[in-house]
Structure 1
C-alpha cells in the first residue's frame, strides 16, 4: 500500500478493485502496532477454548444482571473485575514484542487466579468486611495489596506503563504528602490506611469509574459487538456510499459519514480506523486524494465518533455519573458540538476536492439506496430503538440490554444478517475482550480518584491552576487543554477524561464555567489527543493503511479537526450550545452563526472556496470565523462582514479565471 492507486477513466474505478487492495493490508499487524489492546496471545487448543468460555461467561453475567437486576454495587464491580483480570493474564503476555505466544505460561495462571481471588474477596467475605468496616484485618490488607499490585500489572499489559506509573506516583503522594511543596502538602497516611481506602471500599479501585465499566460501558461495547456480527459495518459503508459517494469528493464524505456512525458504536478511535479505513482510505486514494490527506480524513472522522450521540464513548457515561445527571442529558448536550465538528470536516474535504478537481464516483457503481434499505435497512432498528429507550426515560443499561435483544430478533429478517450460533458466540467473546482495556483503566484511575478524596488533591490542583493563570479563564482553559493532550499521549481516552476531570475541571468550575461545559471541554481535548502528534495513534493507524508519512498525516488531521480544537472554547463562553440556559431563538441564532463560522474556518484552513486564497485572505477568513464563533452581536456582525467580503473576492477570482 505504499503506491498511490491511480484513477482509471477519470473517477471511474471498480469497487471490487478497492476491496482487493484492502485485502492486501495486514490488519492484525496494523492493529498490533498502533492499538495496544490488540497485542494478545494467539491461543490454540484448550487454552483458546478456556478463554472463549470465560469471555462468554463474562458477557452472559452482564446480560443477565442488566436485564434482571444488578447486584449490590461492590459485588457487581468485584465480579466484573475478577473476570477481567483473569482474562487479561490469559490473553496478554508480560512483553508485547517478540514471538506471539500460543499457550499461557504457568505463572500467568497463578497471577490470574490471585487477581481474580483478590477481586472476589469482596463477594466471598462481604458480610465480614461490612461488619468490620474501617477496621481491616491483616488478611484484608494483604489481599488489598496483592489486588492493587496485580491490577496495575494487568493495566500495564493491556495498555502501557504510563497509567500504572501515574497511579503509583499518586499512591506515593498519599504516603509522603508532608514532603511535597506547601501548595500540595498534606499530613500523609500510613500504608494500612491507604490500602483500606483504595481497595476495601468504594472510594478507590471499586469506585465510580469501575462501576460505570461494570454496567453501562460493558453493555454498550457488547451491543456494538452484536451489531458488528450482523454486518452493520458494511451496511453503514454501503449506505454512506449511496448517500454521498456520487458528490464532489464523495469517497472522503463516505469516510466521514461511515466512520462517524461506526465510531459512535465502537468507542475506539484506532479500532474504527482499522475497520472502516480498510475500505475508505484506498477509495479516497483511488479518486485522487493524496495519501496523507486520505489517512487524516479517516482518523478525524473515526476519532469524532466518541463524541457522536446517541452512543458515545465510555467517558460520556462516566461524565454523566460525575455530573449526577441522566446519560440522555449528556448525549443531547453533545449534539451541537458533534454537528459542528463533522460539518467542519465535511466542508474541508469538499473544498479540498473542489481545489483538486476531484469528482465523485459514477452512480452506476454505487449501491442503490432503496434496494439497500430493503435488504438491510432493518439493521437500523436497534439504533433507533436505543434512541427511543433513552428518550423514553429508560436507563442506559436497560436501553443497551433492549438494543441487544432487538439486534438478535431483527437479524432474522434477512438470511445474510441472521445471528447464528457461531455469530452469537463471536459477539459475546469479542464484546468481552473489547471491554478489558476500559475496565483495567477504570480500576486503575480509581486509585487517582481515591487520592483526590483522601488528600483533597483535586482542590489543591484547582487552586494551583487558578494561581498559575492569574484567575484568567482563557489561560486556565489553555492550561487544561495542554494537560489533556499531554495526558492523552499515554492514557486511553477514558482514563484521560477521569484524571483531567478530577484534577483540572474543578478549576474551571471555580472560575464560573457551567459544569456541563467544563466536563465536555475536558472530554473533547482528551479525545483530540488521538489526533495530535507526536503520539497521534488514530492518525498513525490511518497513515499505515494509506502508506503515508505518519507525522504529515497527523499534522493534516489536526488541521481537519481544527473545529474540534476551537468549538470547546466557544461553548465554555456560550454554554447554550451544550443546552445550558436553553432558549429557542438565541439557541438557533447561536447554531447559525457557529455553522457559518465553521464554514469560514474550513475555507481559511484549506485556502480555497471558488478559487485559491492568498495567505492574507486565509488569515482574515480564520479571524472572521473566530468572530462568528464567539458569542455577541458585535463579533457576529464583524464575522458576517468578513464572510461576505471573502465570498465576493472568491466569486470575482473565479470569474476572472474562467474568462
Structure 2
C-alpha cells in the first residue's frame, strides 16, 4: 500500500488514494467513452429509483392512473439487487490484472444475466406467488445461475472471504448429513429444489430482511452522505474541527477525531472516512510530533468509530430495527452514549500522547484570554440549545394555530432559513482546504468557518428532527433530508453568485456546476452502494441457512457446551468469532452473519444460565467487535489506507490503532451487564449521571492504558486506575460479594411471590427432572425470565412468562412440558423427560433482593482516585498533564 520511490517510502498521491477508495467502495474500473456514460446512467437511475419508491409519488400516480404502480417489498428488493449486481460486474474488474479502461464482453454478459436473475423475482412475481414452495425447472435454473453470479459479484466487490463464507454455508445445506460433519452439527440435508426455493425464490434467503433494509433504508442514507460531501460539507466539517481544536496541544489529532465524528455520522465507510479527513490531518499530526504509526492510528481509530455513531452506524442501525424489533429512535437512544464516550476518550488519548511528547501547538489568531474563549463557547452552546427549544415550540405553535396550512408554512420558513444561511455564507469567501505541508498553517476562526456552512446543517437538522421528534420512518426521514439537499446543491452556488452581485453568465455557470454536483453526488451514492447490496445479499445466504437447517439452536448448544454456561466465556467466544469473520467481511456483512448466529445464542444461553441480557445489547456487542476488524491486522483495510498517507508500516499502524481501540472493545462487555450505559430504564437526570460517570471511567481507562495520567504513572497507579474504572462501570459486581443479589423463595410460595412482583421483575428458577435419555439421571437447570406486566394471578403470570404450565401438589410445584417447544424453556429443557414416573419439579426460585444502593462503591473508587491524584501531584503532575521528565 505504501510505495517505495527512490529507495524511500512515499505517500500515495491524491489520485492514488482515490483509486484505493474506489477499489474498495465504488469500483476500480473507470472506462472512457460510451461505457462510462452507461455505468453512470445506470447508477443515476438506481438513485432515482430509490428516491421514487421512498417518496409519496407511487401512491399519487396509482391514484391518478388507477394502475398498480405501488411496489411491494419483494419487488423492490428484486430491482434493488438487480441494479447492484449489474454495476458490480461493470464497475469491478474480475482480477487485479483485468482491464480497467474498458468492460470486456464477458463482463457485459455476466452483468446482464445477473441482473435478469435478480429481476426474475419481479417479472414472475405473480407466477411464483401461485406456486409457493413448488418451483419449476425454469425457476431452479434461474436461481442456480443467480446464486453463482451473486457469489462472483461478491468476490469482485468485497473480496473472497464473504464468498467463501457463503459457499461453506451452502455446502452445509447440501451436505449436512455427511459423515465428515460433526454429530452435533449434522442434519438431514436439503434437495437442490428446496435450497433454491429458500435461498432465491422466496424471502427467506438472498431477498430477505438484509436486502430489504438495504433497499428501504441504507441506500438513502448512503446517498445522503455522498451528496452532502459533494455539496462541500466534508470540507466544512474538517475546517470546523480544525478551527475548534487545532490550537490545542495535539490539535491536529483532536481535529482528526472531531472531523471523523462529524463525517462518520453520515458515512458508512471507514476507509473513505480515513482518506477524506486523513489527507489533511495525518500530515499535520506528523508535523507537530506524532510518529507516523501513531498519526495513522489516530485517524484509523476515529474513522472506524464513525460507524458506531448514529444516525447511520454503517447500516447496522437499520438492520437492528428489523432484527431486534424496536423503533429506529430506540436503537439510536441505546447506541448514542457509548459512541459519544468512545470519541471523548479518544480525544483524551491523543491529548495524553501530545502531553507525553511535549508537542508544540499551532499558532492561532489572537482571540483574547482563555476564559473569554471558554465563555464564548459556553454562550454559543447555550444559544444553540435555546434555539432548538425555541424551534420545537414554534413548530407546535404553528400547528396549533394554523393546522390546515402548517405544513406549507413550515416549509416556507425552512426555505427562508436556507436562503438566509446562503446569504450569510455569500458574505465570506468559500472554504478551501489548506495544504497541511505548507510552511505556515493558519488555524481559521470558528466564527468565520461556521458562517460559510450553516446551510449544510439544515439537511442534518431535518433528518434528526424527522427521526427523533416527528418519529417518522428512517426511509421517509432520509427522503425529506435528501430532497432538501437536492435543493441546496442546485441553488447554493447560483444564490451565492447573485448575493455577490456577479454577472449573469457567471450565475448560469454556477447553476450548471450545481447541477453537475447533484448528478455526480447521485452517481457516487449509487456506486457506494454496490458493495453493500452484494454484502447484504450474500449474507442472506447465511441467514437462509440458519433458518432452513436450524443450526442456530445447535450453535447455542455447542457454545454452551464449550463455555460450560459461563457467560463471560460465551461473550469472549462471540468476540473472537466477530473479529475473525470481520477480518475478511465488511462491517455490515459481518454484523448480519455473526448476529444471525451468535446474538440469539448470547441471549438464550445467558437466560438458560440465569442471566437476562437484552437482545439489543447482544446485537450491539456483535456489531462493536465486527467493526474492530477494520483496525485489526493483518487485514484491517482502514489501517492500510492510513499508512498509505502517513508513509508508515501498515501492520504497526494497525497494532497501534487496536491499542487505541481497547476502550471500544471494553464497552460491549460493560453494557451487556450494565444496561444503564444503553440508557435503558433511566430517567433524564439518571441518564445525565450515567453519562458523566461513564465518561470519567473511560477517561481513567485511557489514562491507565497509556501509562500517563497527571504525569507518568507507575504500574500500581495504572492498576489502581483500572480498578476505579471497573468500580465506576460495574459497582454491582462488588455489591454482590457483600449482599446477595437474589432472595431465595421456597417453591411452595413461588406463585404468591410471582403475583406480588412489580412490572418486568426478574425471576430465576431452578428446575430438576429426569433425563430423557437416562431416567435414572437427574438434570438441573437455572433459568431467568422477565415476568412482564403485573395484574394476573400467580400461576397465570408464571406460565405466561416461562411458557411452562405448573401446578402445586402437596407443597411441591410440578412442571409440565413447555407449551411452546421453540421457546427458551422448550429448547433448554428439551433433554428432560416430562412423562417419566418421577416428575419435573421446581427445585427453587429467586427474585431480586432489596439491597443497599450499589452506588455506595463509588466512595472507595473516589478515595482510590484521590490517592492517585495526590501522589501524582506531588511528583509535579497537573490535570492538564506535564511532560515526562528526561
* Aligned partner of residue 266 in structure 2, secondary structure: helix
Question: 2:647 matched to which residue of 1?
Answer: 547
Residue deviations 1:530-575, cap 9 Å, x none? 1122222212211221111222211211221121010111110111
Shift in Å at residue 154 of structure 1? Answer: 0.3
How do residues 603-614 of structure 1 correspond to structure 2 at under 5 angstroms?
603-614=703-714
How do residues 145-544 of structure 1 correspond to structure 2 at under 5 angstroms?
145-179=144-178, 180-364=181-365, 365-391=442-468, 392-411=470-489, 412-415=491-494, 420-510=514-604, 511=606, 512-544=612-644
Distance 1:374 1:39, change over 3 A: closer
Aligned residues: 640
Question: 2 CA distance for matches of 1:403 and 1:104?
Answer: 35
Question: 2 CA distance for matches of 1:2 and 1:461?
Answer: 42
Q: C-alpha root-mean-square deviation of aligned residues, in Å?
A: 2.2
Residue deviations 1:400-447, cap 9 Å, x none? 111111112234345579771211110111011000000001001101
Structure-2-length-normalised TM-score: 0.70
Residue deviations 1:90-141, cap 9 Å, x none? 111111x226421111111111111111111111111111111121110001
Residue deviations 1:273-294, cap 9 Å, x none? 0111010101111111111111
Question: 1 CA distance for matches of 2:649 and 2:103?
Answer: 37
Shift in Å at residue 585 of structure 1? Answer: 4.8
Question: 1:104 matched to which residue of 2?
Answer: 103
Distance 1:637 1:208, change over 3 A: same
Q: 2:52 aligns with which of 53, 64, 79?
A: 64
Q: Is the Cα contact below 8 Å between 2:2 and 2:643 reproduced in 1?
A: no
Question: 2 CA distance for matches of 1:592 and 1:413?
Answer: 40
Stretch of structure 1 that moved more, 638-647 or 571-580: 638-647
Question: 1 CA distance for matches of 2:238 and 2:877?
Answer: 37
Question: 2:8 matched to which residue of 1?
Answer: none
How do residues 586-601 of structure 1 correspond to structure 2 at under 5 angstroms?
586-601=686-701
Q: Is the Cα contact below 8 Å between 2:90 and 2:111 reproduced in 1?
A: yes
Please, which runs of 5 or more residues in structure 1 have no aligned partner? 4-20
* Aligned partner of residue 876 in structure 2, secondary structure: helix
Stretch of structure 1 that moved more, 418-427 or 465-474: 418-427
Q: Does 1:49 align with 2:37?
A: yes
Question: 1 CA distance for matches of 2:524 and 2:80?
Answer: 16
Q: Is the Cα contact below 8 Å between 2:282 and 2:296 reproduced in 1?
A: yes
- Choose between structure 1 and 2: higher strand proportion: 2
Distance 1:281 1:568, change over 3 A: same
Question: 2 CA distance for matches of 1:594 and 1:557?
Answer: 22
Q: Does 1:93 align with 2:93?
A: yes
Shift in Å at residue 526 of structure 1? Answer: 0.6
Distance 1:168 1:23, change over 3 A: closer
Residue deviations 1:210-254, cap 9 Å, x none? 001111011111001110111111000111111111112111110
Q: Is the Cα contact below 8 Å between 2:19 and 2:28 reproduced in 1?
A: no
Shift in Å at residue 23 of structure 1? Answer: 6.0
Q: Is the Cα contact below 8 Å between 1:539 and 1:554 reproduced in 2?
A: yes
Shift in Å at residue 184 of structure 1? Answer: 1.5
Q: Does 1:571 align with 2:571?
A: no
* Aligned partner of residue 178 in structure 1, secondary structure: coil
Distance 1:655 1:622, change over 3 A: closer
Point out the structure with max Rg over C-alpha: 2
Q: Is the Cα contact below 8 Å between 1:22 and 1:278 reproduced in 2?
A: no
Distance 1:125 1:302, change over 3 A: same
Q: Is the Cα contact below 8 Å between 1:222 and 1:427 reproduced in 2?
A: yes
* Aligned partner of residue 875 in structure 2, secondary structure: helix
Q: Is the Cα contact below 8 Å between 2:349 and 2:703 reproduced in 1?
A: yes
Shift in Å at residue 264 of structure 1? Answer: 2.0
Shift in Å at residue 341 of structure 1? Answer: 0.7
Q: Is the Cα contact below 8 Å between 2:493 and 2:514 reproduced in 1?
A: no
* Aligned partner of residue 337 in structure 2, secondary structure: helix
Question: 2 CA distance for matches of 1:135 and 1:655?
Answer: 75
Question: 1 CA distance for matches of 2:182 and 2:47?
Answer: 47
Q: 1:40 aligns with which of 28, 38, 43?
A: 28
Shift in Å at residue 655 of structure 1? Answer: 6.3
Question: 2:875 matched to which residue of 1?
Answer: 653
Stretch of structure 1 that moved more, 72-81 or 409-418: 409-418
Question: 1:11 matched to which residue of 2?
Answer: none
Question: 1 CA distance for matches of 2:77 and 2:14?
Answer: 42
Shift in Å at residue 25 of structure 1? Answer: 7.4
Q: Does 1:79 align with 2:79?
A: yes
Distance 1:220 1:239, change over 3 A: same
Distance 1:99 1:28, change over 3 A: farther
Question: 1:27 matched to which residue of 2?
Answer: 17
Q: Is the Cα contact below 8 Å between 1:312 and 1:331 reproduced in 2?
A: no
Question: 2 CA distance for matches of 1:623 and 1:546?
Answer: 36
Shift in Å at residue 29 of structure 1? Answer: 4.6
Distance 1:191 1:552, change over 3 A: same
Distance 1:25 1:348, change over 3 A: farther
Distance 1:631 1:528, change over 3 A: farther
Question: 1 CA distance for matches of 2:696 and 2:721?
Answer: 11
* Aligned partner of residue 203 in structure 1, secondary structure: coil
- Choose between structure 1 and 2: higher helix proportion: 1
Stretch of structure 1 that moved more, 410-419 or 570-579: 410-419
* Aligned partner of residue 185 in structure 2, secondary structure: coil
Select the structure with the greater relative contact order (CA < 8 A; seq sep ≥ 6).
1
Question: 1:13 matched to which residue of 2?
Answer: none
Question: 2 CA distance for matches of 1:134 and 1:259?
Answer: 48
Please, which runs of 5 or more residues in structure 2 have no aligned partner? 4-10, 59-69, 366-441, 497-509, 607-611, 733-854
Question: 2 CA distance for matches of 1:129 and 1:432?
Answer: 29
Question: 2 CA distance for matches of 1:641 and 1:232?
Answer: 46
Residue deviations 1:160-180, cap 9 Å, x none? 111111111111111222232
Question: 1 CA distance for matches of 2:106 and 2:292?
Answer: 45
Question: 2 CA distance for matches of 1:189 and 1:99?
Answer: 37
Question: 1:624 matched to which residue of 2?
Answer: 724
Stretch of structure 1 that moved more, 266-275 or 636-645: 636-645
Residue deviations 1:464-503, cap 9 Å, x none? 1122111111111111111111110000101100111011
* Aligned partner of residue 713 in structure 2, secondary structure: coil
Distance 1:118 1:425, change over 3 A: same
Structure-1-length-normalised TM-score: 0.93
Shift in Å at residue 590 of structure 1? Answer: 2.9
Stretch of structure 1 that moved more, 35-44 or 192-201: 35-44
* Aligned partner of residue 532 in structure 1, secondary structure: coil
Question: 2 CA distance for matches of 1:640 and 1:439?
Answer: 50
Shift in Å at residue 591 of structure 1? Answer: 2.6
* Aligned partner of residue 584 in structure 2, secondary structure: coil
